[in-house]
Amino acid sequence: MRAPASTYRLQLTAERGFDHVRRLVPYLDALGVEAVYLAPIFTARAGSEHGYDVVDVGAVSPALGGDAGLLALSAALRERGMGLVVDFVPNHMAACL
């Protein structure tokens, strides 16, 4: 695994999920971005605006495009030799119970 020299961070929402990011891949590649850095991809509380109020760390968020959307994005990045960095911060990723 190589460390990317440049990343581009994207905050995911239901309106800007994996498919939206996948469509940006050619543009990001043209900018010289080596890896896309995504904010939480796990299933968060309904209506979450930031994704850090995770309710299931074992499931990719259906609101963002689910497993299929993540796999399609990963494939699009791989085709261009780009990487994917996923934000996972367990000490503050939970819904308040």
Polymer length of the chain: 97
Q: Which phi and psi angles does 93 have, rounded to 5°? A: -115, 85
* Angstrom distance (rounded) from CA 80 to CA 85: 15
Domain boundaries, the chain: 7-92
pLDDT value for 39: 84
pLDDT value for 27: 98
DSSP letters along 30-71, please? HHT--EEEES--EEE-TT-SSS-SEEEEEEE-GGGTHHHHHH
Q: What is the pLDDT along the chain (97 residues), one digit of tens a residue?
A: 678 899 999 999 889 999 999 999 999 999 999 999 998 898 888 888 788 888 888 899 999 999 999 999 999 999 999 999 998 777 665 555 5
- Name which CATH class applies to 7-92: alpha beta
